[in-house]
Amino acid sequence: MESKSIALEHDEDVVVARGEVRTIAAALGFTLLDQTRLATVASELARNVVKYARAGRLIAQPTDSPHGRRGLRLIFEDTGPGIPDIAAAMRDGYSTSKGLGKGLPGSRRLVDEFDIQSAPGRGTKITVVRWL
Amino acid sequence: MATAQRIPILKVGRVLVVPIQTDMDDQTVVHLQERILSELERTRARGVLIDISLLEMVDSFIGRMLSDIAAMARVMDARTVVVGIQPAVAITLVELGLELTGVATVLNVDEGIKLLREEFGIEERDEEEESCGELSLLGEQINRA
Ligand SMILES: Nc1ncnc2c1ncn2[C@@H]1O[C@H](COP(=O)(O)OP(=O)(O)OP(=O)(O)O)[C@@H](O)[C@H]1O
Ligand SMILES: [Mg+2]
C-alpha cells in the first residue's frame, strides 16, 4: 500500500487526518481497537501541528518490520516554533495553551514506537509506529 | 467540508437530548458546547443526555467538552449523562489518560433516561416536546431508546 500525505492547516484537516488514518488502518487489517487508537493519535498530533505550528503535514506510511510484521507509521512534521523542553512537553498535564496536556504523553501510550525531534525555531517531527 | 455542522439539540420533557451523529471539527465542538449551555439556560432543562454511540473516536478535545458541559450544567442545576460510548473508544480514552470527570456514562438512551429520572430525580413532566434543533431526529432517538 502506498504512503499518503495529508496537509495540516485547518481544523477540518484534523478531521480528515483521523478519518484517513482509520481507513488505512482498517485496510491493513488492524483491529477496531487499534484503528481507534491510531485515529486518536492522528487527531491529537495533527491538532498540535495546526494549533502550535499553524501548518505542516502528516505522512501515513504502511510499513514492514525486519521480521515481516506489518505496521503503520505516521509522521507529523512542521516547521513551526519547535518545543524548547521536550521532556516537559512529554509529561502528563504539561500545556502551554491551558490544554489538558494529554496529547503527547497520551499518544505515546497508544503506539508501539514514538520518536520526537524538535528544535526551537526549526520545527517538530514526530514519528509513531503501531505494529499489527 | 462544512465547518458549521449543525448538531441537533432536542428537548424531551425536562431533558436536552443531543445525538452526535458525525465526527466534529474543533470549531463545531466549541459551538455545540455553547449552544447546549444557552439551551439549558433558555429551557431550564434539568438534564443533558449526550448520545455519542456513533462517535468512532473521542480525543482530548471532545473529552474535555464532555467534562466541561457536565461541570457547567451542574452549576445550572442540571445533570449530564453520556450515552453509548463504544468499547474501543472507552479503552482508548483510558490509555490516553482521560477520565470523563463528572460525567455519568451509560450504555443506551433508555438507561440514560432512567438514570436521570431515578438517580437524579429529574421528572419528565407532561409538557409538549419542543425541538431546539431539527425535529426529524427525534423519532429515531425514541425508537432507539
Ligand atoms: N507541533 C508542535 N509545535 C510546537 N509545540 C508543540 C507541538 N506539539 C506540542 N507542542 C507543545 O507541547 C505541549 C504539550 O502538547 P500536548 O498535546 O501534550 O498538550 P496540549 O496540546 O497543550 O493539550 P491537549 O493536547 O491535551 O489539549 C503543548 O502545550 C505545546 O507547548
Ligand atoms: Mg495537544
Q: What is the pLDDT of residues B8-57, one digit of tens each?
A: 999 998 999 999 999 999 999 999 999 999 999 999 999 999 999 999 99
Which of A86, A104, A126 most suits a substitution to test ligand 1, by most atoms within 8 Å of the C-beta?
A: A104
- Residue B74 is predicted with a pLDDT of 93
Instruction: Decide if B37 is inside a domain.
Output: yes
Q: Which of B132, B123, B105, B129 is nearest to B51 (CA)?
A: B105
Nearest-CA residue for atom 19 of ligand 1? A101
* Domain membership flag for residue B92: yes
Q: Does A99 touch chain B (CB under 8 A)?
A: yes
Is residue B69 assigned to a domain?
Answer: yes
Q: How far is CA A38 from CA A45, A46, A85, B74, in A?
A: 11, 12, 25, 33
Instruction: List the domain range (segments joined by +) for residue A83.
Output: 4-131
Share of chain B above pLDDT 90, in %: 61
A3-32: pLDDT as tens digits: 999 999 999 999 999 999 999 999 999 999
Which 8-state DSSP code applies to residue A102? -
Beta-sheet strands, E only, within A11-108: 56-64, 70-78
Q: Is residue A123 lining ligand 1, measured as CB closer than 6 Å?
A: no
Q: Provide the percentage of residues in chain A whose pLDDT is more than 70.
A: 100
Confidence at residue B5, expressed as pLDDT on a 0 to 100 scale: 63
Is residue B45 domain-resident?
yes
Cα separation, B83 vs B91, in Å, equals 15
Indicate the pTM of the whole model.
Answer: 0.90
Q: What is the CATH number of the domain that holds A117?
A: 3.30.565.10
User: What mean pLDDT do residues B114-126 have?
Assistant: 75
| Whole-number pLDDT of residue B110 | 86
**Residue B34 covered by a domain:** yes
CB B54 within 8 A of CB B86: no
Q: State in Å: Cα B11 to ligand 1 middle.
A: 37
Report d(CA A50, CA A117) in Å as an integer: 17
Domain total in chain A: 1
* Tally of domains within chain B: 1
What does the pLDDT average to over B117-132? 63
* Cell 458525525, residue located: B22
> What domain range is B56 assigned to?
2-108+118-144
The answer to whether residue B113 sits within a structural domain is: no
Work out which ligand 1 atom sits closest to the CA atom of A100. 26
Q: What's the mean pLDDT in A56-79?
A: 96
> Is A98 within 8 Å of chain B by CB?
no
Share of chain B above pLDDT 70, in %: 81
Alpha helices (runs of H) in B1-145, residue ranges in sequence order: 26-43, 60-75, 87-96, 109-118, 136-144
Residue A86: C-alpha distances to residues A37, A93, A95, B138 (Å): 23, 13, 12, 48
What string of DSSP letters covers B12-47? ETTEEEEE--S---HHHHHHHHHHHHHHHHHH--SE
B119 in A contact zone (CB under 8 Å): no
Q: Which has more pLDDT, A57 or B112?
A: A57
**Amino acid type, B118:** E
B59 is a domain residue: yes
pLDDT band at A53 (very low <50, low <70, confident <90, very high): very high
What's the pLDDT tens digit per position in B43-81? 999 999 999 999 999 999 999 999 999 999 999 999 999
**Which CATH number goes with the domain that contains B56?**
3.30.750.24
ipTM: 0.93
User: Could you give the count of Cα atoms lying within 13 Å of B50 in the half-sphere of its Cβ?
Assistant: 28
What rounded mean pLDDT belongs to chain A? 97
Question: Is residue B140's pLDDT more than 70?
Answer: no
